Structure 1
Amino acid sequence: MIRIVTDTTAALPDGWAARHNIPVVPQVIIFEDQEYLEMVDMDRDTFMARLVAAKTLPSTAAPAPAAFEAVYRPLVAAGDTILSIHPSAEISGTVRGATVAAQAFPGAAIHILDTRTIGGPLARLVMLAARLAAQGQSTAAILAQLQALIPRQRLYFLVDTLEYLQKGGRIGGAAALLGSLLQLKPILGLIAGRVEGIERQRTHRRVLERLQQLVVAEAASGDAAQLSIMHAGAGQQAAALAASLREALATDDILITDLVPAIVTHAGPGALAVGFFTTEES
């Protein structure tokens, strides 16, 4: 049997992983030297309340290899093939931890996939893998379809401030925007697995409009876009953006999710993101 494994940065819809029997390895949130397992010891609401009140920003850590070993061990014992699907190694040590853990099981069929993305597009790839496995497709066929989609995924996002990305060490190429923003609002993107600055606008209204324009221009039409809208305490903006994109792209297949603490730690409260897939020709 093929078993899918992922981690909490996929921000899968509540209850979906449990219904599909998919283990989700938690990321680690660190507040003042105290570690918490994401979505186990600390949920989104508790995290957001603490983040807003904190004098010192939290940090994150990828799951240790031991956390993956604990998940892999019973699956290996059952003779299962494991497909472990995780965020970009450019912004997270999760793939590294999973790879080290796999080495504890010589000869086991464990495949680690770096999706070069995070959040909604990662969730979409996990959900596709689960669907294909349920259909009885082979590991090679599933991996081939996922790898074909990875270059076609896009993730654009807005942040209220670059402070969280800078202090968390995830700012990447967007560092060029530091010191030059003044009152300008940036659109950021995850390009080749790395955070990059896309462009800047002068008002919040204009940056939202421009974000929508970028998505409409680049996304596949209809349900092939596999839209996902993610936010950190910006539910009304997320719902409004979803309504606009639903009409513009003629799709009802839109995931709307709250960003998990490990992502909010680096993006900050108020973050708003859109993930989607382009056409094959893009």
Structure 2
Amino acid sequence: MTSPLFTVATDGGLDAFAELNNAVPVAPFSLNFGSSSYRMNEITREWLYRELQTNPLHPTSSQPTPQDWAEAYQQAGGSELPVLALTISSGLSGSINAAEQARGMVPEIPVTLHDTRTLSAAQAFQVHAAATAAKRGETLETALEWVRQTAQETELYFTIETLEYLRRGGRIGRVQATLGGLLNLKPVITVDRATGTYTNVGRARSYRGAIEAIAAQVTSRYGAGTPLRLGLLYGSVREDADTLLAAIQAQHPVVWAGATGVNPVLNVHTGPRAVGVAVAPRAWVWEREGASG
């Protein structure tokens, strides 16, 4: 096996897929109910859903601390190898600032920071690109090239049953403005590339209609018949991901599909029932004919 020239770390914006190279050290987010705080690796989605039903307090989330990031750097490479750290969008969290501060806590570890400008399954695609480059013994520069190309061709779309949780968390922004406050409409949300924040690209009168609207958005973006890779996401209802997959498959051959549950900290902002997908065309960058590296 080729010896890696660098290692990879990320933060709790990641929703990992077992089938991808996503098993990297994570600087965890925390979930807070009043004065009680829980790190995301200490709780489950099922626990969160119970708390949302029974706890009178609305939860908030906290970004990783510099110490969390420093520990992730040490887990990733110790002082042996440089670390490529991929963060959730700086438009959604200050995690990258904590990651920057953490560099001063472990000066013996060379750290390169990359703002994914996204989150969740789309962040997982970028982590997969970086970790694959590391496993193959590619240079850090090649890894960044793969990560950036993956970012450019990947879109993240999701819908939620209610806007209430985005509203409570203060992250509704342009989504609310576009919907004009009509909270009964189900939005199709993406992450704006320019700002790294949520924006609305569609709407539907029902949750099932919003799933169909996501599929239509995918076809509009990539063109009918384009082969796709799909990182499917679900909240409290696993079958929602299957419904979305079937809707996309009606217009596209699927060359890879995985499904994972939205992690508890992200699920706080979407609310229990949510479904989404990270989408990219064709094969991975490094699998294409003439790919560098």
Whether TM exceeds 0.5 here: the answer is yes
Counterpart of 1:202?
205
Cα deviation, residue 76, structure 1: 5.6
Counterpart of 2:245?
242
Aligned residue among 26, 29, 45 for 2:28: 26
Give the SS at the match of 1:226.
strand
Cα root mean square deviation, aligned? 2.5
Give the SS at the match of 1:248.
coil
Q: How many angstroms apart in 1 are the aligned matches of 2:227 and 2:128?
A: 14
**Pair 1:223–1:92, CA change in 2 (3 A):** farther
Identify the range of structure 1 (72-81 vs 263-272) with the bigger mean alpha-carbon deviation.
Answer: 72-81
- The reply to whether residue 138 of structure 1 matches residue 142 of structure 2 is no
Aligned residue among 230, 233, 236 for 2:233: 230
Cα deviation, residue 221, structure 1: 7.9
Counterpart of 1:172?
173
Counterpart of 2:160?
159
Give the SS at the match of 2:190.
strand
Deviation per CA, 1:61-99: give whole Å up to 9, x if none. 011001111222365643211011121011012111111
- The reply to whether residue 10 of structure 1 matches residue 14 of structure 2 is yes
- The reply to whether residue 53 of structure 1 matches residue 54 of structure 2 is yes
- The reply to whether residue 120 of structure 1 matches residue 121 of structure 2 is yes
Equivalent position amino acid for 2:140 in 1: T
Counterpart of 1:219?
222
Q: Is the 8 A contact 2:162 2:184 kept in 1?
A: no
Equivalent position amino acid for 2:99 in 1: A
Equivalent position amino acid for 2:247 in 1: S
Aligned residue among 269, 273, 280 for 1:270: 273
Q: Is the 8 A contact 2:229 2:281 kept in 1?
A: no
Counterpart of 2:71?
70
Give the SS at the match of 1:127.
helix
Q: How many angstroms apart in 1 are the aligned matches of 2:19 and 2:47?
A: 19
Deviation per CA, 1:209-262: give whole Å up to 9, x if none. 221111122237889633111111121121121133235321141121100011
Q: How many angstroms apart in 2 are the aligned matches of 1:16 and 1:208?
A: 24
Q: How many angstroms apart in 1 are the aligned matches of 2:48 and 2:85?
A: 26
Counterpart of 2:290?
none
Aligned length: 277
Identify the range of structure 1 (55-64 vs 234-243) with the bigger mean alpha-carbon deviation.
Answer: 234-243
**Pair 1:155–1:75, CA change in 2 (3 A):** closer
Equivalent position amino acid for 2:64 in 1: P
Q: Is the 8 A contact 1:28 1:35 kept in 2?
A: yes
**Pair 1:208–1:76, CA change in 2 (3 A):** closer
The percentage of aligned residue pairs carrying the same residue is 25
Q: How many angstroms apart in 2 are the aligned matches of 1:75 and 1:216?
A: 38
**Pair 1:52–1:103, CA change in 2 (3 A):** same
Cα deviation, residue 110, structure 1: 0.5
Deviation per CA, 1:193-213: give whole Å up to 9, x if none. 211122222233332222111
The TM-score with structure 1 as length reference comes to 0.89
